Structure 1
Amino acid sequence: MRAGFIVSAMASLMLVGLSPGVQAENTPPPPANKRNCKNTVPFSQWLADFKREAIAEGIRPQTIEETIGGMTPDQGTIARDRKQGFFSQTFIDFYFKLATKNREQTGKTFLKRYKDIFDRAEQQYGVPGPVITGFWALESDFGGGMGNLPVLRSLVTLAWDCRRGDFFRGELKAAMKIVERGDLTPDQMIGSWAGELGQTQFLPQHYLNYGVDYDDDGRVDLIRDNADVIGSTANFISSMGWKRGEPWIEQVQITKDLPWEKADLAIKLPRSQWVAWGVKGVGENLPSDDLQASLVLPMGRNGPAFLAYPNFDVYTQWNQSLTYALTAAHLAARMAGAPNLTKASGNVVSLSYEQIKELQSLLKRRGLDVGEIDGKLGAGTRKAVKDMQVKFGLPADSYPTADLLTALKERS
């Protein structure tokens, strides 16, 4: 997802204790309030105010009663939203739990089965089929794990809650408009606790704005209609700036002597520069051209390495977690014919959850912005690690090591 927050707990990711998903619209949502915020407006008062607001925006009173009449908030949804996630898996652990051989083969089967639809979507939107199936696999296991909760109740709860109420009020109104448009009935809106719907987990505003009736049956059904899933997902990806005919990610081999500070998703250089520094393709030569690319080292200079091209930006807009984005992108590349990673590429000594929290605390004491002290290796922590590696004269590959942690403790 685009820089902002992560909103859902998709079925497959819940199995490994993660909760990335799709965020609403192509602009960052407003910052969330703190997890320990308190609801001060009684639900009945909030609901009456919301109904008046929805009517003023053109939603029919009948639709409002049909969708949320008599509804009460779900404390379980609030508890899930407030829960502090625990994440201590490395990229390679996450990758092999989610980007399975079975999902790769299912994706390839779908690409053959729905070839005409994928071809049409690529011609219309410029998005290759494997990119769609990569997201399809991770978001719902091709429809096998879309969630089993009443979405409207989740949305009402999150819209009333103090943490992200403004954001979810918009999603709740969009869900009502989906019902008014005739795409889904309220009873059919079954999905994730964060309000996402369908096989590629669209929030209601995505559903409303990018959903496409791709088989001309008169409605957009992203829960049961695979043609609509393919067309709508392609439309949404295209809206985020996908560049037709360009690659998105490529695994590469690196030398032991690189300007490591250049290995950063925020730094894009011509592919010819990476070639000049000794970066090589896997299984085929790397073109020495002007295509812009970033060198991404999710586990540092001793782990797997990737060149991320401009189209990879779509993956980090879909989900801001670098681990998720790389997994989805490389799974798509495999579905397009690229080789799998090897587990040996993950033989890197990594810090534990508690060690990363300690590292974050030490970095924060030095005035560096790491966000929450949460044991997660997010973008802020990676940037702070890189800054400190440069200061200490260590290889600045943005991956925390025991050497860095020791240096921070000794110099604190």
Structure 2
Amino acid sequence: MRLLPLALAACLMPATVFAQCGGSFSGFVKDLKREAISNGHATATTNAFFKSVKQDPKVLRADRAQGVFQKPFIDFTRHLISQNRIDRGRSMARKHNATFDRIEATYGINRGVLLAFWAFETDYGAFQGDFNTLNALVTLSHDCRRPELFRPQIFAALELYETGNFDPRKTTGAWAGEIGMVQMLPRDILENGVDGDGDGQVSLKTSPPDALMSGGKMLSHLGWTPGQPWLQEVTIPRGLDLSKTGPSQKNSVSNWAKMGVQPRAGTLASGSLQASLLLPQGHKGPAFLAYPNFDVYFEWNQSFTYVLTAAYFATRLEGAGVYNAGNPDQGLSGAQMKQLQKKLQARGHDVGKVDGILGSKTRIAVQVEQQRLGLPADAWPTPSLLSSL
């Protein structure tokens, strides 16, 4: 489920003639070996690490079949969140209470946040993926869609192999190379792996304390601020300036309150905090204030719908009620969304890849065009917007 969180810069890769992707697979692997050796890894170790690697067409099929991300927020949450998942999450919180206490004391990460990731990534460890991790990483690096994301993970896996924490033949996980109960990439494991159970090993596949402590450290490393909220459901008044909404725009909580934004339950956070007002299905649907910690979610996953769902589920696990779904305007099908993205591109907007997914770039472009056309600028694309364009 997780989309790669590490937008690793190209500067991490050596400035050499090594091909970054494409060509014959065997030639690509030879280049990887030469690069590893040039970076100081022993020849024998490098050869042993890459000896069994194979291209995996199933990985490419999985990469191109992420249709679940085309679901709108309400459908997506109902797809991922069930009463059974909530009950199991609360049961896991009780079972691993001591570990969560340590995480909160050490890293300041709320248990609901980690429980939500644990649930969505692997259903609390039950389904961790059976793709050979090295094959997945090399296959995706050879593919020329996003080599800059995957290639550095191969060399991180090599470092784990050198310390005895990665088996090129037996280590398995998700199709995109993530390993363990909370699905961490090799570089994540190198930088944030924690021996949570004190057995001298970092075992993210079999040890909940290791996996959860490592996830907590990673979120802390990514910038989580202890003691601050991440998401809160709110209500919005009629006549609100909708052009001020969206994940890329922030305002102080006190200013949102002056504009009539109110919590659906409880009280708003400190007035000095900056927050974004999120309307995932427009001004007639659910509404949330996203606080600074919400931005950290995008370092874990780059899908707006997934991130908002994970953040919302974390609040549910900590006692929040079910959101008010409202009565949103009709959205677009996947095919219609692709048409919209093409029309937006034709008008000069950067929407990223034309994939039928309502991501952050598409939302920003939609909001601009809604303002131009005199429509409610809530970043929710409708058939009327599509026809207007």
Structure-1-length-normalised TM-score = 0.86
Give the whole-Å Cα distance in 1 for the aligned partners of 2:275 and 2:282: 17
Deviation at 1:337, TM superposition (A): 1.1
Specify the alignment match of 1:164 in structure 2.
Answer: 146
SS of corresponding position for 1:106: helix
Specify the alignment match of 2:272 in structure 1.
Answer: 290
Q: Which deviates further from its counterpart, 161-170 or 302-311? A: 161-170
Deviation at 1:188, TM superposition (A): 4.0
SS of corresponding position for 1:105: helix
Q: Alpha-carbon deviations, 1:203-250, whole Å to 9, x = none?
A: 111111111112221111110011111110000000111011000000
1:89 aligns with 2:85: no
Give the whole-Å Cα distance in 2 for the aligned partners of 1:61 and 1:371: 40
Specify the alignment match of 1:362 in structure 2.
Answer: 343
Specify the alignment match of 1:392 in structure 2.
Answer: 373
Q: Alpha-carbon deviations, 1:326-377, whole Å to 9, x = none?
A: 10001001111111225x4365421222322232233233222223333221
Give the whole-Å Cα distance in 1 for the aligned partners of 2:78 and 2:234: 18
Among candidates 201, 206, 214, match of residue 224 of structure 1: 206
1:208 aligns with 2:190: yes
Specify the alignment match of 2:119 in structure 1.
Answer: 137
Q: How does 1:317-336 map to 2 (within 5 A)?
A: 317-336=299-318
Residue type at the aligned position of 1:202: M
Q: Alpha-carbon deviations, 1:178-213, whole Å to 9, x = none?
A: 122223433441111221111111111111111111
SS of corresponding position for 2:354: coil
1:43 aligns with 2:20: no
Give the whole-Å Cα distance in 2 for the aligned partners of 1:231 and 1:360: 40
Give the whole-Å Cα distance in 2 for the aligned partners of 1:127 and 1:87: 26
Is contact 1:77–1:193 with CA below 8 Å preserved after alignment?
A: yes
Specify the alignment match of 1:406 in structure 2.
Answer: 387
Give the whole-Å Cα distance in 2 for the aligned partners of 1:29 and 1:82: 23
Give the whole-Å Cα distance in 1 for the aligned partners of 2:35 and 2:385: 53
Q: How does 1:341-352 map to 2 (within 5 A)?
A: 341-342=323-324, 344-345=325-326, 347-352=328-333
- Sort the Cα spacing of 1:98 and 1:346 in 2 relative to 1 into closer, same or farther, 3 A: farther
Q: Alpha-carbon deviations, 1:155-192, whole Å to 9, x = none?
A: 22223333334543321111122122223433441111
Specify the alignment match of 2:40 in structure 1.
Answer: 58
Q: Which deviates further from its counterpart, 72-81 or 234-243? A: 72-81
Structure 2 residue runs of 5 or longer lacking an equivalent are 12-19
- Sort the Cα spacing of 1:287 and 1:308 in 2 relative to 1 into closer, same or farther, 3 A: closer
Between the aligned residues of both structures, percent identity stands at 42
Q: How does 1:131-280 map to 2 (within 5 A)?
A: 131-280=113-262
Specify the alignment match of 1:302 in structure 2.
Answer: 284
Q: Alpha-carbon deviations, 1:31-60, whole Å to 9, x = none?
A: xxxxxxx97533333323322321232333
SS of corresponding position for 2:326: helix
Is contact 1:23–1:203 with CA below 8 Å preserved after alignment?
A: no
Deviation at 1:64, TM superposition (A): 2.9
Specify the alignment match of 1:338 in structure 2.
Answer: 320
Give the whole-Å Cα distance in 1 for the aligned partners of 2:383 and 2:368: 16
Specify the alignment match of 1:34 in structure 2.
Answer: none
- Sort the Cα spacing of 1:104 and 1:62 in 2 relative to 1 into closer, same or farther, 3 A: farther
- Sort the Cα spacing of 1:110 and 1:259 in 2 relative to 1 into closer, same or farther, 3 A: same
Deviation at 1:82, TM superposition (A): 4.9
Q: Which deviates further from its counterpart, 79-88 or 268-277? A: 79-88
Q: How many residues of Structure 1 are paired with residues of Structure 2 in the alignment? A: 381
- Sort the Cα spacing of 1:220 and 1:55 in 2 relative to 1 into closer, same or farther, 3 A: same
- Sort the Cα spacing of 1:273 and 1:183 in 2 relative to 1 into closer, same or farther, 3 A: same
Deviation at 1:269, TM superposition (A): 1.2
Q: Which deviates further from its counterpart, 233-242 or 391-400? A: 391-400
Deviation at 1:393, TM superposition (A): 1.7
* CA RMSD across the alignment: 2.3
- Sort the Cα spacing of 1:72 and 1:317 in 2 relative to 1 into closer, same or farther, 3 A: closer
Structure-2-length-normalised TM-score = 0.90
Specify the alignment match of 2:51 in structure 1.
Answer: 69
Give the whole-Å Cα distance in 2 for the aligned partners of 1:135 and 1:346: 28
Is contact 1:22–1:201 with CA below 8 Å preserved after alignment?
A: no
SS of corresponding position for 1:163: coil
- Sort the Cα spacing of 1:295 and 1:29 in 2 relative to 1 into closer, same or farther, 3 A: farther
Residue type at the aligned position of 1:211: G
Is contact 1:68–1:153 with CA below 8 Å preserved after alignment?
A: no
Q: Alpha-carbon deviations, 1:360-398, whole Å to 9, x = none?
A: 233233222223333221112111111111112222111
